[in-house]
Amino acid sequence: MRTRIFAIFSFLVSVLCSFSHNDFQSELQKVLQQPEYKNATVGIQIVDLETEHALFELNVNKLMVPASTMKIITSASALEILGAGYRFQTKIGYTDGLIKTNEIRGNLVVLGGGDPTLGSEYFNEIESCRDFAKIWVQKIKAAGIRKITGNIILDGSLYDSEKIPPTWIWGDIGNYYGAGAHAFTCYDNLFRITFKSPKEVGEKTEIFSVTPRIEELEIVNEVVASDENRDLAYVFGSPLDKNRVIRGTIPKKRKAFTIKAAVHHPEELLAEALLNQLAKEGIFISGRVKFDTVDKNQLYTIYLHESPKLEEIIKVLNHESVNLFAEHLVMQIAAEKSGIGNREKGIELIKEFWQSEGIHAENIFMEDGSGLSHFNAISPAQINLILVYMVQKSQNSEVFINSLPNAGNGTLSGFSTELFSGNSLKAKSGSMTRVRCYAGYLQLNSGRIVAFTIMFNHFSGSHSKLVKEIENLLLTAKKSL
Protein backbone atom coordinates (compact mmCIF):
# COMPACT_ATOMS: atom_id res chain seq x y z
CA MET A 1 0.00 0.00 0.00
CA ARG A 2 2.78 2.43 0.97
CA THR A 3 4.59 1.61 -2.24
CA ARG A 4 1.47 2.42 -4.25
CA ILE A 5 0.90 5.73 -2.42
CA PHE A 6 4.54 6.67 -2.95
CA ALA A 7 4.27 5.81 -6.65
CA ILE A 8 1.14 7.97 -7.02
CA PHE A 9 2.83 10.83 -5.14
CA SER A 10 5.92 10.57 -7.35
CA PHE A 11 3.72 10.57 -10.44
CA LEU A 12 1.87 13.71 -9.30
CA VAL A 13 5.14 15.52 -8.55
CA SER A 14 6.42 14.52 -11.97
CA VAL A 15 3.26 15.81 -13.65
CA LEU A 16 3.33 19.09 -11.72
CA CYS A 17 7.00 19.64 -12.55
CA SER A 18 6.21 18.90 -16.18
CA PHE A 19 3.45 21.52 -16.20
CA SER A 20 5.78 24.03 -14.50
CA HIS A 21 8.51 23.32 -17.02
CA ASN A 22 6.00 23.69 -19.84
CA ASP A 23 4.85 27.10 -18.53
CA PHE A 24 8.38 28.46 -18.76
CA GLN A 25 9.05 26.77 -22.09
CA SER A 26 5.80 28.12 -23.50
CA GLU A 27 6.72 31.71 -22.54
CA LEU A 28 10.19 31.25 -23.99
CA GLN A 29 8.79 29.95 -27.28
CA LYS A 30 6.60 33.05 -27.57
CA VAL A 31 9.75 35.14 -27.34
CA LEU A 32 11.84 33.05 -29.72
CA GLN A 33 9.13 33.06 -32.38
CA GLN A 34 9.26 36.84 -32.66
CA PRO A 35 11.07 38.03 -35.81
CA GLU A 36 13.86 39.85 -33.96
CA TYR A 37 14.89 36.69 -32.09
CA LYS A 38 14.32 34.01 -34.73
CA ASN A 39 17.92 34.10 -35.93
CA ALA A 40 19.46 34.90 -32.56
CA THR A 41 21.61 32.52 -30.52
CA VAL A 42 19.98 31.94 -27.15
CA GLY A 43 21.37 29.99 -24.21
CA ILE A 44 19.58 29.44 -20.88
CA GLN A 45 20.26 27.34 -17.83
CA ILE A 46 18.39 27.40 -14.51
CA VAL A 47 19.90 25.30 -11.70
CA ASP A 48 18.51 24.45 -8.26
CA LEU A 49 21.22 25.58 -5.82
CA GLU A 50 20.43 22.91 -3.24
CA THR A 51 20.39 19.88 -5.53
CA GLU A 52 22.54 21.39 -8.31
CA HIS A 53 20.10 19.83 -10.80
CA ALA A 54 19.07 21.77 -13.88
CA LEU A 55 15.40 22.84 -13.94
CA PHE A 56 15.63 24.16 -17.50
CA GLU A 57 18.26 24.05 -20.24
CA LEU A 58 18.65 25.45 -23.73
CA ASN A 59 21.98 25.48 -25.59
CA VAL A 60 23.75 25.28 -22.22
CA ASN A 61 27.17 24.39 -23.63
CA LYS A 62 27.10 26.76 -26.60
CA LEU A 63 29.84 29.39 -26.41
CA MET A 64 28.43 32.90 -26.50
CA VAL A 65 29.54 36.51 -26.03
CA PRO A 66 28.86 37.33 -22.35
CA ALA A 67 29.36 41.13 -22.38
CA SER A 68 29.49 42.36 -18.76
CA THR A 69 28.35 39.07 -17.25
CA MET A 70 32.07 38.28 -17.63
CA LYS A 71 32.44 40.43 -14.50
CA ILE A 72 30.91 37.53 -12.54
CA ILE A 73 33.98 35.45 -13.42
CA THR A 74 36.37 38.30 -12.70
CA SER A 75 34.88 39.41 -9.39
CA ALA A 76 34.44 35.86 -8.10
CA SER A 77 38.03 35.04 -9.06
CA ALA A 78 39.43 38.13 -7.34
CA LEU A 79 37.54 37.35 -4.13
CA GLU A 80 38.84 33.79 -4.12
CA ILE A 81 42.43 34.57 -5.12
CA LEU A 82 43.05 37.91 -3.37
CA GLY A 83 40.48 37.76 -0.56
CA ALA A 84 37.60 40.04 0.41
CA GLY A 85 39.82 42.08 2.75
CA TYR A 86 42.53 42.76 0.16
CA ARG A 87 43.57 46.40 -0.27
CA PHE A 88 45.55 48.05 -3.08
CA GLN A 89 48.60 49.91 -1.75
CA THR A 90 50.37 53.04 -2.99
CA LYS A 91 53.70 53.83 -1.35
CA ILE A 92 55.12 57.34 -0.80
CA GLY A 93 58.81 57.60 0.06
CA TYR A 94 62.21 58.97 -0.90
CA THR A 95 65.54 57.69 -2.23
CA ASP A 96 69.14 58.77 -2.69
CA GLY A 97 69.62 60.46 0.63
CA LEU A 98 68.30 61.16 4.09
CA ILE A 99 66.05 63.94 5.29
CA LYS A 100 68.27 66.76 6.59
CA THR A 101 67.05 70.06 7.96
CA ASN A 102 63.54 69.60 6.51
CA GLU A 103 64.97 68.68 3.11
CA ILE A 104 65.07 65.50 1.03
CA ARG A 105 68.51 65.40 -0.56
CA GLY A 106 67.23 63.06 -3.22
CA ASN A 107 63.99 62.11 -4.94
CA LEU A 108 60.43 61.95 -3.70
CA VAL A 109 58.95 58.69 -5.00
CA VAL A 110 55.42 57.43 -5.52
CA LEU A 111 55.16 53.68 -6.17
CA GLY A 112 51.96 53.00 -8.07
CA GLY A 113 49.94 50.12 -6.66
CA GLY A 114 47.16 49.90 -9.24
CA ASP A 115 44.58 51.41 -6.87
CA PRO A 116 41.48 52.19 -9.00
CA THR A 117 39.77 54.19 -6.22
CA LEU A 118 42.12 57.21 -6.16
CA GLY A 119 39.87 60.21 -6.83
CA SER A 120 37.11 57.89 -8.05
CA GLU A 121 33.62 59.36 -8.21
CA TYR A 122 32.32 56.01 -6.97
CA PHE A 123 34.19 56.49 -3.67
CA ASN A 124 33.72 60.23 -3.32
CA GLU A 125 32.34 59.89 0.21
CA ILE A 126 35.57 58.31 1.46
CA GLU A 127 38.08 61.04 2.31
CA SER A 128 41.16 58.93 1.64
CA CYS A 129 39.93 58.30 -1.92
CA ARG A 130 38.53 61.76 -2.63
CA ASP A 131 41.45 63.78 -1.19
CA PHE A 132 44.30 61.34 -1.74
CA ALA A 133 46.80 63.96 -2.96
CA LYS A 134 46.03 66.24 -0.01
CA ILE A 135 46.53 63.38 2.45
CA TRP A 136 49.81 62.34 0.81
CA VAL A 137 51.22 65.85 1.07
CA GLN A 138 50.04 66.16 4.67
CA LYS A 139 51.99 62.98 5.46
CA ILE A 140 55.06 64.35 3.64
CA LYS A 141 54.80 67.59 5.61
CA ALA A 142 54.26 65.70 8.88
CA ALA A 143 57.59 63.94 8.20
CA GLY A 144 59.22 67.37 8.45
CA ILE A 145 59.84 67.80 4.72
CA ARG A 146 59.76 71.35 3.35
CA LYS A 147 62.09 71.01 0.37
CA ILE A 148 62.85 68.31 -2.21
CA THR A 149 66.26 68.77 -3.81
CA GLY A 150 65.79 66.03 -6.39
CA ASN A 151 62.90 65.01 -8.64
CA ILE A 152 59.45 63.59 -8.09
CA ILE A 153 59.51 60.09 -9.55
CA LEU A 154 56.33 58.19 -10.31
CA ASP A 155 57.15 54.50 -10.63
CA GLY A 156 54.34 52.68 -12.44
CA SER A 157 56.28 49.50 -13.16
CA LEU A 158 53.85 47.31 -11.20
CA TYR A 159 51.78 46.99 -14.41
CA ASP A 160 53.14 46.32 -17.87
CA SER A 161 52.90 48.82 -20.71
CA GLU A 162 49.71 47.49 -22.33
CA LYS A 163 47.24 50.38 -22.10
CA ILE A 164 44.13 48.50 -23.25
CA PRO A 165 43.35 44.91 -24.27
CA PRO A 166 44.12 44.46 -27.98
CA THR A 167 40.68 43.02 -28.80
CA TRP A 168 38.73 46.12 -27.73
CA ILE A 169 37.17 47.86 -30.70
CA TRP A 170 37.93 51.31 -32.11
CA GLY A 171 34.44 52.58 -31.24
CA ASP A 172 34.96 51.88 -27.51
CA ILE A 173 38.52 52.77 -26.55
CA GLY A 174 38.16 56.56 -26.70
CA ASN A 175 35.08 56.62 -24.47
CA TYR A 176 35.03 56.58 -20.67
CA TYR A 177 34.06 52.90 -20.51
CA GLY A 178 37.10 52.07 -22.66
CA ALA A 179 39.69 53.34 -20.18
CA GLY A 180 42.44 50.82 -19.45
CA ALA A 181 44.02 49.81 -16.13
CA HIS A 182 47.18 51.62 -15.05
CA ALA A 183 49.44 51.47 -12.00
CA PHE A 184 48.53 55.16 -11.49
CA THR A 185 44.83 55.07 -12.28
CA CYS A 186 43.12 58.14 -10.83
CA TYR A 187 39.83 60.01 -11.24
CA ASP A 188 38.43 56.91 -13.00
CA ASN A 189 40.82 57.60 -15.91
CA LEU A 190 38.35 59.93 -17.57
CA PHE A 191 37.91 63.56 -18.56
CA ARG A 192 34.76 65.54 -19.33
CA ILE A 193 33.95 67.48 -22.48
CA THR A 194 31.13 70.02 -22.25
CA PHE A 195 29.26 71.16 -25.37
CA LYS A 196 26.83 73.90 -26.25
CA SER A 197 24.31 72.81 -28.87
CA PRO A 198 22.36 75.00 -31.34
CA LYS A 199 18.58 75.13 -31.80
CA GLU A 200 18.56 73.55 -35.25
CA VAL A 201 18.96 69.83 -35.85
CA GLY A 202 22.09 68.96 -37.82
CA GLU A 203 23.99 72.11 -36.91
CA LYS A 204 27.45 71.79 -35.42
CA THR A 205 27.97 71.98 -31.66
CA GLU A 206 30.59 73.97 -29.81
CA ILE A 207 33.02 72.70 -27.13
CA PHE A 208 33.49 75.24 -24.37
CA SER A 209 35.26 73.27 -21.64
CA VAL A 210 37.47 70.23 -21.08
CA THR A 211 38.03 69.08 -17.48
CA PRO A 212 40.63 68.34 -16.24
CA ARG A 213 43.09 70.09 -18.49
CA ILE A 214 45.19 67.62 -20.48
CA GLU A 215 48.50 68.75 -21.95
CA GLU A 216 48.78 68.49 -25.77
CA LEU A 217 45.20 67.22 -26.17
CA GLU A 218 43.82 67.97 -29.65
CA ILE A 219 40.10 67.52 -30.34
CA VAL A 220 38.32 67.58 -33.68
CA ASN A 221 34.62 68.16 -33.00
CA GLU A 222 32.16 66.69 -35.51
CA VAL A 223 29.21 66.46 -33.10
CA VAL A 224 25.90 67.93 -34.26
CA ALA A 225 22.57 68.74 -32.60
CA SER A 226 19.75 66.20 -32.68
CA ASP A 227 16.12 65.64 -31.66
CA GLU A 228 17.32 62.55 -29.79
CA ASN A 229 17.31 63.43 -26.08
CA ARG A 230 20.39 61.41 -25.18
CA ASP A 231 24.14 61.20 -25.55
CA LEU A 232 25.00 59.69 -28.92
CA ALA A 233 28.46 61.25 -29.18
CA TYR A 234 31.46 58.94 -29.41
CA VAL A 235 35.13 59.70 -28.91
CA PHE A 236 37.68 58.14 -31.26
CA GLY A 237 41.43 58.06 -30.78
CA SER A 238 44.44 55.85 -30.12
CA PRO A 239 45.59 55.21 -26.54
CA LEU A 240 49.11 55.97 -27.80
CA ASP A 241 48.51 59.66 -28.57
CA LYS A 242 46.29 62.58 -27.56
CA ASN A 243 44.48 63.28 -30.82
CA ARG A 244 40.71 62.81 -30.52
CA VAL A 245 37.80 63.02 -32.94
CA ILE A 246 34.27 63.22 -31.54
CA ARG A 247 31.40 62.17 -33.80
CA GLY A 248 27.68 61.70 -33.34
CA THR A 249 24.92 63.78 -31.78
CA ILE A 250 23.79 65.41 -28.56
CA PRO A 251 20.37 66.95 -27.82
CA LYS A 252 19.64 70.32 -29.44
CA LYS A 253 19.20 73.59 -27.50
CA ARG A 254 21.53 72.72 -24.62
CA LYS A 255 23.58 75.40 -22.88
CA ALA A 256 25.76 72.71 -21.34
CA PHE A 257 25.84 69.02 -22.22
CA THR A 258 28.72 66.92 -20.89
CA ILE A 259 30.13 63.63 -22.12
CA LYS A 260 32.97 61.54 -20.69
CA ALA A 261 36.07 60.27 -22.48
CA ALA A 262 38.95 57.95 -21.56
CA VAL A 263 42.28 59.16 -20.23
CA HIS A 264 45.08 56.83 -21.29
CA HIS A 265 47.84 58.72 -19.45
CA PRO A 266 46.45 59.01 -15.91
CA GLU A 267 49.93 59.28 -14.40
CA GLU A 268 50.02 62.84 -15.77
CA LEU A 269 46.81 63.75 -13.96
CA LEU A 270 48.12 62.26 -10.73
CA ALA A 271 51.43 64.13 -11.07
CA GLU A 272 49.63 67.43 -11.58
CA ALA A 273 47.36 66.84 -8.58
CA LEU A 274 50.40 66.07 -6.43
CA LEU A 275 52.36 69.11 -7.65
CA ASN A 276 49.43 71.43 -7.00
CA GLN A 277 49.03 70.11 -3.48
CA LEU A 278 52.75 70.39 -2.73
CA ALA A 279 52.63 74.01 -3.86
CA LYS A 280 49.60 74.71 -1.64
CA GLU A 281 51.48 73.35 1.35
CA GLY A 282 54.59 75.39 0.55
CA ILE A 283 56.86 72.45 -0.19
CA PHE A 284 59.55 73.47 -2.69
CA ILE A 285 60.80 71.13 -5.45
CA SER A 286 64.13 71.76 -7.17
CA GLY A 287 63.74 69.04 -9.82
CA ARG A 288 60.91 67.93 -12.09
CA VAL A 289 58.42 65.09 -12.48
CA LYS A 290 59.78 61.90 -14.00
CA PHE A 291 58.00 58.66 -14.90
CA ASP A 292 60.68 56.12 -14.18
CA THR A 293 61.57 52.95 -12.27
CA VAL A 294 63.40 53.08 -8.94
CA ASP A 295 65.21 50.52 -6.83
CA LYS A 296 62.54 49.53 -4.31
CA ASN A 297 65.21 48.33 -1.89
CA GLN A 298 66.53 51.88 -1.65
CA LEU A 299 63.14 53.40 -0.85
CA TYR A 300 62.50 54.92 2.58
CA THR A 301 58.75 54.85 3.17
CA ILE A 302 56.94 57.95 4.43
CA TYR A 303 53.35 56.75 3.98
CA LEU A 304 51.49 53.67 2.78
CA HIS A 305 48.12 54.56 1.24
CA GLU A 306 45.53 51.77 1.22
CA SER A 307 42.36 51.48 -0.83
CA PRO A 308 38.97 50.39 0.54
CA LYS A 309 38.62 46.63 0.93
CA LEU A 310 38.19 44.54 -2.19
CA GLU A 311 34.65 43.60 -1.15
CA GLU A 312 33.68 47.29 -1.34
CA ILE A 313 35.33 47.70 -4.75
CA ILE A 314 33.61 44.59 -6.11
CA LYS A 315 30.22 45.81 -4.92
CA VAL A 316 30.66 48.99 -6.98
CA LEU A 317 32.09 46.95 -9.88
CA ASN A 318 29.02 44.70 -10.13
CA HIS A 319 26.37 47.26 -9.20
CA GLU A 320 27.58 49.90 -11.66
CA SER A 321 29.37 47.58 -14.12
CA VAL A 322 32.64 49.52 -14.02
CA ASN A 323 34.91 48.15 -16.74
CA LEU A 324 37.99 49.87 -15.35
CA PHE A 325 37.70 48.17 -11.96
CA ALA A 326 37.33 44.76 -13.61
CA GLU A 327 40.49 45.27 -15.66
CA HIS A 328 42.36 46.24 -12.51
CA LEU A 329 41.38 42.99 -10.81
CA VAL A 330 42.85 40.90 -13.63
CA MET A 331 46.08 42.93 -13.57
CA GLN A 332 46.31 42.87 -9.77
CA ILE A 333 45.91 39.10 -9.58
CA ALA A 334 48.93 38.82 -11.89
CA ALA A 335 50.87 41.47 -9.95
CA GLU A 336 50.34 39.70 -6.63
CA LYS A 337 51.10 36.21 -7.91
CA SER A 338 53.85 36.87 -10.47
CA GLY A 339 55.28 40.28 -9.58
CA ILE A 340 53.95 42.27 -12.53
CA GLY A 341 50.45 43.18 -13.66
CA ASN A 342 49.90 41.55 -17.02
CA ARG A 343 46.47 40.85 -18.54
CA GLU A 344 47.39 37.51 -20.12
CA LYS A 345 49.03 36.24 -16.93
CA GLY A 346 46.05 37.37 -14.85
CA ILE A 347 43.65 35.48 -17.09
CA GLU A 348 45.90 32.42 -16.97
CA LEU A 349 45.89 32.51 -13.16
CA ILE A 350 42.11 32.89 -13.07
CA LYS A 351 41.62 29.84 -15.27
CA GLU A 352 44.17 27.85 -13.26
CA PHE A 353 42.27 28.65 -10.07
CA TRP A 354 38.93 27.36 -11.38
CA GLN A 355 40.65 24.31 -12.84
CA SER A 356 42.08 23.57 -9.38
CA GLU A 357 38.54 23.77 -7.96
CA GLY A 358 37.27 21.15 -10.38
CA ILE A 359 35.65 23.56 -12.84
CA HIS A 360 37.05 22.94 -16.30
CA ALA A 361 38.21 26.24 -17.76
CA GLU A 362 39.36 25.22 -21.23
CA ASN A 363 36.11 26.57 -22.70
CA ILE A 364 36.32 29.92 -20.95
CA PHE A 365 37.66 32.19 -23.68
CA MET A 366 38.58 35.28 -21.69
CA GLU A 367 40.23 38.28 -23.34
CA ASP A 368 39.61 40.83 -20.60
CA GLY A 369 38.05 41.18 -17.17
CA SER A 370 35.16 43.47 -17.99
CA GLY A 371 33.50 41.74 -20.93
CA LEU A 372 34.06 44.69 -23.29
CA SER A 373 35.90 42.47 -25.77
CA HIS A 374 33.75 40.87 -28.47
CA PHE A 375 36.27 38.01 -28.49
CA ASN A 376 35.16 36.71 -25.08
CA ALA A 377 33.15 33.48 -25.18
CA ILE A 378 31.63 31.36 -22.43
CA SER A 379 28.64 29.06 -22.06
CA PRO A 380 25.60 29.46 -19.77
CA ALA A 381 26.61 26.22 -18.02
CA GLN A 382 30.10 27.55 -17.29
CA ILE A 383 28.77 30.74 -15.71
CA ASN A 384 26.31 28.74 -13.63
CA LEU A 385 29.05 26.43 -12.36
CA ILE A 386 30.80 29.47 -10.88
CA LEU A 387 27.53 30.90 -9.53
CA VAL A 388 26.82 27.60 -7.77
CA TYR A 389 30.40 27.36 -6.47
CA MET A 390 30.23 30.85 -4.96
CA VAL A 391 27.19 29.83 -2.90
CA GLN A 392 28.05 26.24 -2.07
CA LYS A 393 31.82 26.30 -1.56
CA SER A 394 33.15 29.84 -1.23
CA GLN A 395 33.98 31.50 2.07
CA ASN A 396 33.15 34.74 0.30
CA SER A 397 29.61 33.66 -0.54
CA GLU A 398 27.79 36.47 1.26
CA VAL A 399 30.17 39.14 -0.04
CA PHE A 400 29.76 37.92 -3.62
CA ILE A 401 25.96 37.70 -3.51
CA ASN A 402 25.73 41.17 -1.93
CA SER A 403 27.90 42.57 -4.73
CA LEU A 404 25.16 41.80 -7.25
CA PRO A 405 22.40 44.40 -7.64
CA ASN A 406 18.80 43.57 -6.85
CA ALA A 407 15.74 44.72 -8.80
CA GLY A 408 15.49 48.49 -8.99
CA ASN A 409 19.20 49.06 -8.28
CA GLY A 410 22.39 49.46 -10.30
CA THR A 411 22.23 47.83 -13.70
CA LEU A 412 18.92 46.16 -12.67
CA SER A 413 17.25 49.55 -12.17
CA GLY A 414 14.78 48.75 -14.97
CA PHE A 415 13.46 45.63 -13.21
CA SER A 416 10.27 45.92 -11.14
CA THR A 417 10.69 45.99 -7.36
CA GLU A 418 7.08 44.85 -7.04
CA LEU A 419 7.61 41.72 -9.13
CA PHE A 420 11.02 41.01 -7.56
CA SER A 421 10.84 42.38 -4.04
CA GLY A 422 13.73 42.52 -1.59
CA ASN A 423 16.61 40.28 -2.60
CA SER A 424 14.54 37.74 -4.52
CA LEU A 425 16.55 38.67 -7.62
CA LYS A 426 20.32 39.29 -7.49
CA ALA A 427 21.98 39.40 -10.88
CA LYS A 428 24.60 40.90 -13.18
CA SER A 429 23.56 42.21 -16.55
CA GLY A 430 25.64 42.37 -19.71
CA SER A 431 24.98 44.29 -22.88
CA MET A 432 26.65 45.46 -26.06
CA THR A 433 25.47 45.78 -29.64
CA ARG A 434 23.14 42.80 -30.34
CA VAL A 435 24.10 41.14 -27.02
CA ARG A 436 21.99 41.04 -23.85
CA CYS A 437 22.70 38.66 -20.95
CA TYR A 438 21.74 38.18 -17.30
CA ALA A 439 23.19 35.85 -14.70
CA GLY A 440 22.66 35.52 -10.98
CA TYR A 441 20.27 34.17 -8.38
CA LEU A 442 16.47 34.04 -8.21
CA GLN A 443 14.25 32.99 -5.32
CA LEU A 444 11.22 31.10 -6.60
CA ASN A 445 7.75 31.36 -5.09
CA SER A 446 8.28 27.81 -3.81
CA GLY A 447 11.07 29.15 -1.61
CA ARG A 448 13.97 27.44 -3.34
CA ILE A 449 16.77 29.48 -4.86
CA VAL A 450 18.17 28.94 -8.34
CA ALA A 451 21.23 30.09 -10.21
CA PHE A 452 20.37 31.22 -13.72
CA THR A 453 22.11 32.42 -16.85
CA ILE A 454 20.19 33.84 -19.81
CA MET A 455 22.19 34.84 -22.89
CA PHE A 456 20.90 36.43 -26.09
CA ASN A 457 23.42 36.99 -28.92
CA HIS A 458 22.85 38.48 -32.37
CA PHE A 459 19.24 39.61 -31.96
CA SER A 460 17.92 42.39 -34.16
CA GLY A 461 15.44 44.17 -31.90
CA SER A 462 15.78 46.87 -29.27
CA HIS A 463 17.45 46.24 -25.93
CA SER A 464 14.62 47.80 -23.97
CA LYS A 465 12.11 45.37 -25.45
CA LEU A 466 14.33 42.35 -24.75
CA VAL A 467 14.87 43.48 -21.15
CA LYS A 468 11.09 43.33 -20.64
CA GLU A 469 10.95 39.91 -22.30
CA ILE A 470 13.67 38.59 -19.98
CA GLU A 471 11.98 40.15 -16.97
CA ASN A 472 8.80 38.28 -17.90
CA LEU A 473 10.75 35.01 -18.35
CA LEU A 474 12.26 35.39 -14.88
CA LEU A 475 8.82 36.13 -13.46
CA THR A 476 7.44 32.99 -15.13
CA ALA A 477 10.32 30.97 -13.70
CA LYS A 478 9.66 32.48 -10.28
CA LYS A 479 6.02 31.41 -10.37
CA SER A 480 6.19 28.07 -12.11
CA LEU A 481 9.52 26.30 -11.57
Assess whether pLDDT exceeds 80 at residue 461: yes
* Number of residues that make up the chain: 481
> What pLDDT is stored for residue 298 in this prediction?
87
Is this model's pTM higher than 0.85 or not? yes
> What pLDDT is stored for residue 99 in this prediction?
64
Assess whether pLDDT exceeds 80 at residue 78: yes
Report, in this order, helix, strand and coil percent for the chain, each rounded to 5: 35, 25, 35
Mean pLDDT across the stretch 433-446?
Answer: 97
How far apart are alpha carbons 469 and 451 in whole angstroms?
Answer: 19
The CATH superfamily assigned to 89-161+267-308 is D-Ala-D-Ala carboxypeptidase C, peptidase S13 (3.50.80.20)
Is there a contact between 338 and 346 (Cβ–Cβ < 8 Å)? no
Assess whether pLDDT exceeds 60 at residue 5: no
> What pLDDT is stored for residue 98 in this prediction?
62
Closest alpha carbon to 450 in 462, 463, 441: 441
> What pLDDT is stored for residue 19 in this prediction?
43
Give 301-315 pLDDT, tens digit per residue: 999 999 999 999 999
Give 104-134 pLDDT, tens digit per residue: 888 999 999 999 999 999 999 999 999 999 9
How far apart are alpha carbons 477 and 481 in whole angstroms?
Answer: 5
Fold of domain 24-84+311-480: Beta-lactamase (3.40.710)
Question: Where are the domains positioned within the chain?
Answer: 24-84+311-480, 89-161+267-308, 171-262
> What pLDDT is stored for residue 104 in this prediction?
85
Mean pLDDT across the stretch 28-54?
Answer: 96
- pLDDT confidence band for 428 (50 / 70 / 90): very high
When the pLDDT of each residue in the chain is averaged and rounded to a whole number, the result is: 93
> What pLDDT is stored for residue 2 in this prediction?
43
> What pLDDT is stored for residue 362 in this prediction?
86
Mean pLDDT across the stretch 323-339?
Answer: 98
